[in-house]
Structure 1
Amino acid sequence: MVNKVQLGKSELFVNPIGLGANAVGGHNLYPNLDEEVGKDLVRTAIENGMNFIDTAFSYGPERSEELIAEVLKESGKRNEVIIGTKIAQKFMDGKKMIDNSPAFLRNEVEKSLKRLQTEYIDLLYIHYPDETTPKDEAIGALKQLKDAGKIRAIGVSNFSPEQLKEANKDGYVDVVQGEYNLLSRSAESSYFPYTIENNIAFIPYFPLASGLLTGKYTTESTFNDLRKGLPYFQEQVFSKNLEKVEQIRNIANQKGVDVAHIVLAWYLKQEAVTAVIPGAKNSEQVLNNLKTLDVQLTNDEILVIDELFRA
């Protein structure tokens, strides 16, 4: 039996290992996706107690929500699953723009409800901040939707610490999603003190640093996609990062698990981190991610990993 965790002040309780669903219908993010494989991995997640599914308007666009809706409908388990989705983007004249205005957010929630074939969204994030809308006004619009029963919890993603504080002026923000991993730890000083003090759940994205923290790369690995622009893949630090990952492998081998399991388990030991949402491309990866729940890290191991990635 999985011990579920509460998302901030909300009434939502989730498996701390969730599903990042950008490879479910995210045709604009990954080439040659098979939608049936995507639906099957959502089925596998639900059937194995992974009740927290993270998607967004921008995955597809729109298609991820639609495929998840199909699986939820056939499963008959809508009330058992916590759906987190994100809005803020719009396309005008072929250009992507960001809009946090209350009218836009209200309209986009209605569209998302239709795509998800549901009467309510469990967790609704503003995916990106715009440059003009006061953030407390944007969140105020979501609070009205929450009061109307259309959403159950309010989140923000990619907000700066200052924007988060403005958004949470009235205490309505339940969840923050932001970049955090062992190679990118600035959130520990910029976000965690505030989120802990205000009982806001923090959910990391890029928890495995685009695969670098899985232990699957070597010094011979080359990258011709978005990874080549990420700071931890740059030539001068890439080999050093791999050396650190190999030291985690020693702990993983002792426990008979993968490097990724150790990394994800370490995050869940951080006070500010409520849940993690690693992505998956197939059902096997979903089941593999769930093995994290079986990992027991000692205090010494937690400290060793902490110090290793502070160097």
Structure 2
Amino acid sequence: MVHSVKLGKSNLNVNPIGLGTNAVGGHNLYPNLDEEQGKDVVRQAIESGVNFLDTAFIYGPERSEELVGEVVKESGKRDGLVIATKAAHKFINGDTTLDNSPKFLKESVDRALKRLQTDYIDLFYIHFPDDDTPKAEAVGALKDLKDEGKIRSIGVSNFSIEQLEEANQDGYVDVLQSEYNLFKRQAEEDLLPYTAENNISFVPYFPLASGLLTGKYNENSKFNDLRKDHPLFQGETYKENLKKVEKLRAMAENKEVEIAHLVLAWYLTRDSIYAIIPGAKNAEQVKNNLKTLDVNLTQSEIDQIDQIFQ
């Protein structure tokens, strides 16, 4: 399998298995994170040939970018890495609002450059749409930053199809990041066809549905984090979901991989999904995610997985 793919119409080449770093310094998302362990995750990724690192202002906030920046700097491998970050959240008197205004985006990029200790950001996303800024205007501000060399490519995240169409009216959008997994397939109706047609890379987040698609849970598993209120993890729905995942076990065992590898490999067969960014809480998980690249799915296996999760 190819170990380098191009993201959309950008000139960014990445290993198809990237690293989502919300558990690296994302103290507002996960309780009791160990920062040194988080840095080890990033170190392991870089050492293992993972060159696509995904972070954001709101992870921490700020702390994930700082830790990623520290490790990248010490690695001396900045040139070979593709760093993606995002902004849109703004704190006003303790409240969080979203801001896509050109002024805010430009300030956000400057601040992220400092935290990441770098001169340029390879991929910069508008993290969430706000209610007021025309999307083409917001993307236009990122085009200015690209022309100045502060960012190398333009992304949007969590945009609806209408917002994406507006954002991309001048053809400037390179990457869309949005929720997509075998349990949440709405993107197949509009976003994925649009990205495929317009040469935009689609980077799915929550690809393993917060761990539900790993095959590691059962009816007695207990959750005390984001998952305890998540619809996929409630009552009968949860039991039905576990049954679907269980149907993948024989196929995974036959290939001598884990269910998670099978699932991640399936996403890479979708039009416009060239790269995925599974998270990791320890260095072992980073190495484990890379086993996805050894999975070759036949067309009938691809169809079978598709049907189980219809």
Once the two structures are superposed, the pairs formed by residues 68-217 of structure 1 within 5 Å of their partners are 68-217=68-217
2:63 matched to which residue of 1? 63
- Secondary structure of the residue aligned to 1:16 is coil
- Secondary structure of the residue aligned to 1:279 is coil
User: How far apart are 1:226 and its partner, in Å?
Assistant: 1.9
Distance (whole Å) between structure 2 residues aligned to residue 45 and residue 222 of structure 1: 29
Matched, 1:290 2:290: yes
- Secondary structure of the residue aligned to 1:53 is strand
Letter in 1 for 2:274: T
- Secondary structure of the residue aligned to 1:300 is helix
User: How far apart are 1:228 and its partner, in Å?
Assistant: 2.8
Distance (whole Å) between structure 2 residues aligned to residue 55 and residue 122 of structure 1: 12
- Secondary structure of the residue aligned to 2:146 is helix
User: How far apart are 1:225 and its partner, in Å?
Assistant: 2.7
Letter in 2 for 1:297: L
RMSD over aligned CA atoms reads 1.0
CA deviations on 1:156-207 (whole Å, 9 max, x unpaired) are 0011110000000100000000000000001011201111110000000000
User: How far apart are 1:31 and its partner, in Å?
Assistant: 1.1
1:277 matched to which residue of 2? 277
- Secondary structure of the residue aligned to 1:285 is helix
1:233 matched to which residue of 2? 233
2:301 matched to which residue of 1? 301
1:41 matched to which residue of 2? 41
Letter in 1 for 2:74: E
Letter in 2 for 1:145: L
Letter in 2 for 1:115: R
Matched, 1:24 2:20: no
- Secondary structure of the residue aligned to 1:86 is strand
User: How far apart are 1:246 and its partner, in Å?
Assistant: 0.8
Once the two structures are superposed, the pairs formed by residues 219-258 of structure 1 within 5 Å of their partners are 219-258=219-258
Letter in 1 for 2:213: L
User: How far apart are 1:2 and its partner, in Å?
Assistant: 4.9
CA deviations on 1:78-102 (whole Å, 9 max, x unpaired) are 0000000000111010111100000
Distance (whole Å) between structure 1 residues aligned to residue 37 and residue 236 of structure 2: 37
CA deviations on 1:52-74 (whole Å, 9 max, x unpaired) are 00000001100111111111111
Task: Report the identity percentage.
Answer: 67
- Secondary structure of the residue aligned to 1:121 is coil
8 Å contact from structure 2 (residues 180, 207) kept in 1? yes
The count of corresponding residues between Structure 1 and Structure 2 is 310
2:263 matched to which residue of 1? 263
CA deviations on 1:194-233 (whole Å, 9 max, x unpaired) are 1111000000000000110000110112333321332222
Distance (whole Å) between structure 2 residues aligned to residue 232 and residue 30 of structure 1: 19
Letter in 2 for 1:78: R
CA deviations on 1:13-36 (whole Å, 9 max, x unpaired) are 100000000011111111111111
CA deviations on 1:232-291 (whole Å, 9 max, x unpaired) are 222121111111111111111111111100000000011121211000000000000001
Unaligned ranges ≥5, structure 1: none
Letter in 1 for 2:179: E
Letter in 2 for 1:77: K
Distance (whole Å) between structure 1 residues aligned to residue 184 and residue 223 of structure 2: 19
Distance (whole Å) between structure 2 residues aligned to residue 291 and residue 103 of structure 1: 42
Q: What is the TM-score of this pair, normalised by structure 1? A: 0.98
Matched, 1:9 2:36: no
